[in-house]
């Protein structure tokens, strides 16, 4: 998959060099390209923002640098500079995602959908946001989504983009070593939260690993884990419980 990110703080994305995602990148499974929006601002101060039309507090990101940057990325994408051959070829046209608290809420389901794309472009806004005409322009020319990672406000789209790239990236074939570990996780399959995990020693500070996990009885372990998932989901996120598990 090819992923382009546009930001005035490209340094944020150094974090994606670490761990599984970094490995996926160096193995060519993810072709990540981070662009500094200021490279497309040509005045002496490389200005990317200006005062809001109509007045009010804060600053708004100017449309021209965004236009130049996104035009360049789209032209490059169209010229056939795709990502890895080994990932599914979703809509050939890139999908531009603008992280925004005003967008559709990002979920595991959305991560799975986005993992099917060939090319994602993340446009990270700062300040009070980006001039609306940028969204309108690219929505008319192609595919654009505003996506929120939750009901809270960040200072910009960078951290939200990192969260989305990690959630999407780990679903790409070959990124996570053991694909089974993707299946049992919270929000996958049946929508239940994960069961609690334990390792050795069998006792730590007087706290024991639940004996069933040391029983060697595979069926009993599976039963216990499922009960734990249901109990935890009922307690923490009752709205996620499937209909048949809800108490009347």
Q: Is 169 in the site for ligand ADE (CB under 6 A)?
A: no
CA–CA separation, 82 and 87 (whole Å) = 10
Give the residue ranges of DSSP H helices in 123-217.
132-141, 158-169, 180-183
CA–CA separation, 66 and 220 (whole Å) = 57
**97 assigned binding-site residue:** no
Smallest distance, ligand ADE to C-beta of residue 242, A? 27
**195 assigned binding-site residue:** no
Among 88, 91, 150, 211, the residue binding ligand ADE under the rule CB under 6 A is: 150
Q: Tally Cβ neighbours within 10 Å of residue 174.
A: 14
Q: Which is nearer to ligand ADE, 9 or 198 (CB)?
A: 9
Q: Is 59 exposed, middle or buried (0-12, 13-18, 19+ CB in 10 A)?
A: middle
Q: Which is nearer to ligand ADE, 104 or 185 (CB)?
A: 104
Q: Are residues 11 and 21 in contact, defined by beta-carbon separation less than 8 angstroms?
A: no
Q: Is 153 in the site for ligand ADE (CB under 6 A)?
A: yes
Q: Which of residues 21-80 bind ligand ADE (CB under 6 A)?
A: none
Q: Is 101 in the site for ligand ADE (CB under 6 A)?
A: yes
Smallest distance, ligand ADE to C-beta of residue 98, A? 8
Q: Which stretch binds ligand ADE (CB under 6 A): 65-73, 97-105, 113-121, 184-192?
A: 97-105
**130 assigned binding-site residue:** no
How many CA atoms does the CB half-sphere of 103 hold within 13 Å?
Answer: 24
Angle at 106 between CA 101 and CA 112, to 5 degrees: 155
For ligand ADE, the binding residues (CB under 6 A) are: 99-101, 148-150, 152-154, 157, 160
> Which residues sit in the known binding site for S-adenosyl-L-methionine?
125, 149-154
Binding residues: 125, 149-154
């Amino acid at each position: 998959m090819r992923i382009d990110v546009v930001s005035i703080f490209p340094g944020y994305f150094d974090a994606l060099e670490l761990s599984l995602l970094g490995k996926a990148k160096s193995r060519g499974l993810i072709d990540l390209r981070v662009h500094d929006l200021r490279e497309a601002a040509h005045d002496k101060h490389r200005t990317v923002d200006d005062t809001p039309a109509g007045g009010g507090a804060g600053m708004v990101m100017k449309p021209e640098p965004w236009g130049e940057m996104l035009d360049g990325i789209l032209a490059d994408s169209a010229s056939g500079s795709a990502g890895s051959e080994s990932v599914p070829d979703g809509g050939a046209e890139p999908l531009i995602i603008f992280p925004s608290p005003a967008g559709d809420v990002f979920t595991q389901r959305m991560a799975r959908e986005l993992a099917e794309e060939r090319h994602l472009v993340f446009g990270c806004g700062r300040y009070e946001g980006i001039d609306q005409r940028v969204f309108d322009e690219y929505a008319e020319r192609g595919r654009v989504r505003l996506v929120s990672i939750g009901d809270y406000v960040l200072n910009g789209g960078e951290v939200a983009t990192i969260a989305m790239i990690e959630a999407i990236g780990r679903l790409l074939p070959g990124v996570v070593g053991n694909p089974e570990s993707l299946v049992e996780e919270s929000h996958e399959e049946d929508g239940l939260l994960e069961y609690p995990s334990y390792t050795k020693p069998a006792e730590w500070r007087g706290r024991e690993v639940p004996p069933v996990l040391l029983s060697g009885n595979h069926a009993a372990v599976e039963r216990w884990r499922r009960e734990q998932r249901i109990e935890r989901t009922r307690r923490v996120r009752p709205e996620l419980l499937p209909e048949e598990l809800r108490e009347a």
